[in-house]
Structure 1
Amino acid sequence: MESSASNGGSSVAWVESPLQLLCVIEAQHAGLLGDDAVVVPRSGLPALRLTRNEISRLALPDGLSFAEPSAKMPKPGRSWAVGDAFSGRVQLSLLTSPVRRLLLVDDGLATIRLLELLAERRPLLRARAVPGAARTAMGTVAGVRLRRLARRGRLTVFTALPVPDDVADAVRALGAAVVKHDFPWLRSQPGRRPPAEKTVVLGTSLVRNGLIHREAYVKWLTGLDEPVAYYPHRREDPKDLDRVRRIDGVTVYESGAPAEMTLRDLRPGQRVLSLPSTAVTSLRILLRARGVSVETVDVPDEWWTASAGPSLRSHLQLFAHERVAP
């Protein structure tokens, strides 16, 4: 079988989120994208633009360059890197363009669901989606294409997430490489001055996504009863943030860049609180040697809405190894 890493030539990475962008840079640092990798950010995404601005002051790995943001997905190069393999546009490209090698980078919780579906030989469809026949058919064929790449040694999963051992083993059994990383490039870069507050709270998308009740979340924040530095999630509703700003003792820091970049230089003795999220895992990796506690809030049953089914709650617990009661 051919190596799943590129041995030279051009690679193209299509990124649609700050985490995907960071992981593509780490992949180039790890030598998985070959000698020449071009990153194409999706246009129209403010969080991605702000992250790119933050990255511009850092030293990029050799061979990595950025194209102008685009609303149109680029054609795959010799090697192609993507994060959201559930995307209709990504799946259409898998079906219509020759892909020699594919690198999958982290896209939050969806990455683990993707690996489970690959291993179980099921259609690649988003959680909670209600797809029609055409979308199901495309997800089915996309899964077949990824498994074919895996059998030929041309699929690599590059992840910092806590992928369950049985899932990782099943994906490797398909022929794919599962490569773990701990953000070595990012850890080597200079950080920003941390906030003065001892406690940092990461914002959540669970409210806007209709998975937890807004009032329960706001009540918990109000009850912390200490100075809090609040870093919003990029998808938080502006109206919800206005409520957070009115809570005594809470200061909202709207940097726009991902928490992995803005909080990686927290001081010993500071702590991070978060509802279950991918950022919990990555911050634990980045802060483990700094004496900073990263704790996941144990979400009570009454917080969840009817939209948060048992399987989703179970998935979220993957990010809850160090929990704190609300």
Structure 2
Amino acid sequence: MNPRAGEPGTTLAFVESPVQLLNVLEWAYAHGIRPLQEPGAGFTLVVLSPTDPMTRGQLRRMADLARDEGHTVRWEEARGGPAAPFQTVGGLAGPLRRADRIVMGDPFSRYVQLLLTITRARDLVVVDDGTATMEFVAQLARGERLVRWHRKGGRRGPRDLVFAPVSSVARRRLTPGGEREVEIFSSMPIDEAPEGVRVTPHDFAWTRARFGPPRITKGADMVGTSLVETGVVDGERYLDAVRGLAKAHGATRYFAHRRESAEKLHRLAVETGLEIVRPELPLELIARRGPVGRTILSFPSTVVHTLPLALAGTEVQVAVCDIDPDWLTQTASPRAQGFLSNVTGTARGVRRLTAMSAA
């Protein structure tokens, strides 16, 4: 019999970003996995480390928090050279075959999809990787291939075609059937989960129990986005929107997304006067620890769903600015506008701002 949450068994959790690691900690807390009280609980957190320095730094700090909670953390230099993937997969093959449960933060990841072809676990868990979770569940429900929402539609490239068989196997593994069960642990609105998929609400209980409440300042803070870096939004339009929002709402700080370029952030600082802050932890933890502005301004992103939960019981208000269709680049995915509108429209407990009010 497969283990269920809170029951004995061997669990491997794979994460590639700080937010994914945070959400695995939240999943463990929600399901009563307490290794400090139950040594040898069989839960190992595997970090498939990226190369980006800022992401690695945040992951290091999140790994320390996980160890403080008593969890075992295994750090893999999964991208540390041409031989690294072979060494990583080879070293994980044994634990993967023995695992009763696999927890993953990014089902779109080719690394994770490859690992899913090795495991025999029949209990699979997907924790939030931000708004991508919404697209993953929708694609799974429709039986579509797993493709990130911001990738442009059309013909698949050579790498996609080579990897297609692995991706197909991963999608089948993530489809419940027989004795195989799939859990989605999410703070996102999920309306079309496939039959057999159980959705567990994620309300940041661990974050609220561990940190805060924060000291609240009178001003406003702004949350950055990587929509420019992913080729969705035009850089000049984004700069104009940030300038307009900051002026209209009296924002003084700009919390940079870990993927935002140094050049773009320098321009923002010079041309808007905002203090650029590079958080050392996911924003949900930074905001919960404080100090934080009474208003948090954001464009459509994960935080418009997560911050109201993490800051529940405080007086902080999250305001989200819509993305004007004119801001999109010519190379943006045809799905971009609809997806971003859905991210904003389904957010609960936020104040809506029109794109025009940002100018």
TM over 0.5: yes
Q: How many residues align?
A: 318
Contact 1:267 1:290 survives alignment (8 Å)? no
Match of 2:201 in 1: 180
Alignment equivalent of 1:67, drawn from 61, 64, 74: 74
Q: Is 1:135 aligned with 2:163?
A: yes
- Give the stretch that moved more between structures: 151-160 or 64-73: 64-73
Match of 1:324 in 2: 353
Match of 1:42 in 2: 48
- Quote the Cα distance in structure 1 between the aligned partners of 2:29 and 2:208: 12
Structure 1 residues 14, 32: CA separation in 2 closer, same or farther (over 3 Å shift)? Answer: farther
Letter of the 1:324 partner, please give it.
L
Q: Is 1:213 aligned with 2:234?
A: yes
Q: Is 1:155 aligned with 2:148?
A: no
Alignment equivalent of 2:225, drawn from 191, 204, 208: 204
Match of 1:290 in 2: 314
- Quote the Cα distance in structure 2 between the aligned partners of 1:67 and 1:194: 35
- Quote the Cα distance in structure 2 between the aligned partners of 1:268 and 1:84: 29
Match of 2:38 in 1: none
Alignment equivalent of 1:278, drawn from 275, 291, 302: 302
Contact 1:153 1:176 survives alignment (8 Å)? no
The normalised TM-score by structure 1 is: 0.87
- Give the stretch that moved more between structures: 108-117 or 232-241: 108-117
Contact 2:223 2:257 survives alignment (8 Å)? yes
- Give the stretch that moved more between structures: 195-204 or 241-250: 195-204
Q: Displacement of 1:93 after TM fit?
A: 1.9
Match of 2:115 in 1: 93
Match of 1:238 in 2: 262
Letter of the 1:24 partner, please give it.
V
Alpha-carbon deviations, 1:103-137, whole Å to 9, x = none? 11111222222111211122223332634433333
Contact 2:23 2:128 survives alignment (8 Å)? yes
RMSD over aligned Cα, in angstroms?
A: 2.7
Match of 2:85 in 1: none
The normalised TM-score by structure 2 is: 0.79
Contact 2:234 2:328 survives alignment (8 Å)? yes
Letter of the 1:39 partner, please give it.
L
Unaligned runs of 5+ in 1: none
Identical residues among aligned pairs (%) = 30
- Give the stretch that moved more between structures: 198-207 or 107-116: 107-116
- Quote the Cα distance in structure 2 between the aligned partners of 1:240 and 1:40: 32
Query: What secondary structure sits across from 2:231 in the alignment?
Result: coil
Structure 1 residues 90, 56: CA separation in 2 closer, same or farther (over 3 Å shift)? Answer: closer
Structure 1 residues 89, 33: CA separation in 2 closer, same or farther (over 3 Å shift)? Answer: farther
Q: Displacement of 1:60 after TM fit?
A: 4.9
Match of 2:25 in 1: 25
- Quote the Cα distance in structure 2 between the aligned partners of 1:103 and 1:264: 26
Contact 1:51 1:258 survives alignment (8 Å)? no
- Quote the Cα distance in structure 2 between the aligned partners of 1:60 and 1:150: 37
Letter of the 2:72 partner, please give it.
S
